[in-house]
Chain A
Amino acid sequence: ETGVTQSPTHLIKTRGQQVTLRCSSQSGHNTVSWYQQALGQGPQFIFQYYREEENGRGNFPPRFSGLQFPNYSSELNVNALELDDSALYLCASRYRGNYGYTFGSGTRLTVV
């Protein structure tokens, strides 16, 4: 039991479509980050949210956007899907001041 739940587990979308991935963090985890992990690669930082505001962003285009809600849940939205967006998307959360992140089990997105 990691305390961080992601949904859905797997998803297949068509190029050009939009997708929303969801994450539910454990109570008190007010910092959440999203990562993209391609096969055989390390996780790539997309962005971080703290208290519902984005406070860090990696090298991803604006069509990657996010939201964090007061109930410790968050969303990753990707517009205009491209084939290269196919990857494992990981949500990670922590208490601010406790630097260790807990990862969810991920959403495997396939774009065809």
Chain B
Amino acid sequence: QKEVEQNSGPLSVPEGAIASLNCTYSDRGSQSFFWYRQYSGKSPELIMSIYSNGDKEDGRFTAQLNKASQYVSLLIRDSQPSDSATYLCAVGNNDMRFGAGTRLTVKP
């Protein structure tokens, strides 16, 4: 069974701080990694994809991948109250699997 693990949280950070979200996965053969954001009552929305070891930056978001450690992370810089949501880590391509999500609250 391919597993994706996330800290369930909740994670609370003050506005303007850096939020750090972590994910580990069990399938060493995985090649595709994603972060989705899900607001309460809404469907998941893709915010980052990463396929190679290292960092990938997009605006205030940075995804980090370490395949040797089977670890993916998402950093959100200058966190805003509008970033408050559940962040889902997803791994895989033809059978993309999700973690349980980490609930993030950004306090004004």
Please tell me if the beta carbons of B49 and A48 are within 8 angstroms of each other in the complex. Answer: no
Is B76 an interface residue when CB atoms closer than 8 A count as contact? no
Are A103 and B96 in contact, with the CB atoms below 8 A? no
- Once A and B bind, how many residue pairs between them come within 8 Å at the CB atom? 54
Once A43-B98, A44-B98 are accepted as A-B contacts, the answer to whether A99 and B43 lie under 8 Å apart by CB is no
B95 near A58: Cβ-Cβ < 8 Å: yes
Q: Give the residues in chain A near B98, CB-CB below 8 Å.
A: 35, 42-45
Enumerate chain A residues within 8 angstroms of B51, measured Cβ to Cβ. Answer: 99
Interface centre among A55, A90, A101, A105 (most CB of B within 10 A): A101
The verdict on B25 contacting chain A, using a C-beta distance below 8 Å, is no
B contacts with A, residue count (CB < 8 A): 22
Residues in A30-63 with C-beta less than 8 Å from chain B:
33, 35, 40-45, 48, 50, 55-59
User: Among B6, B49, B97, which residue has its beta carbon within 8 angstroms of that of A99?
Assistant: B49
Residue from B45, B88, B95 in contact with A43 in the complex, judged by beta carbons closer than 8 Å:
B88
B96:A105 contact, CB within 8 angstroms: no
CB neighbours of B93 from chain A (8 A): 99
Question: Hey, what's the 0/1 contact readout for B25-41 against A, CB within 8 Å counting as 1?
Answer: 00000001010000000
Whether B100 lies near A42 (C-beta < 8 A) is yes
Judge whether A59 and B94 touch: CB under 8 Å: no
Q: Determine which residue in B93, B94, B96 has the highest number of CB atoms from chain A within 10 A of its CB, and name it.
A: B96
B17 within 8 A of A: no
Indicate if the CB atoms of A48 and B100 lie closer than 8 Å.
no
- For B54, list chain A residues within 8 Å (CB): none
A108 to chain B, nearest CB (A): 10
User: What residues of chain A have their CB less than 8 Å away from a CB belonging to chain B?
Assistant: 2, 33, 35, 40-45, 48, 50, 55-59, 90, 92, 99-106
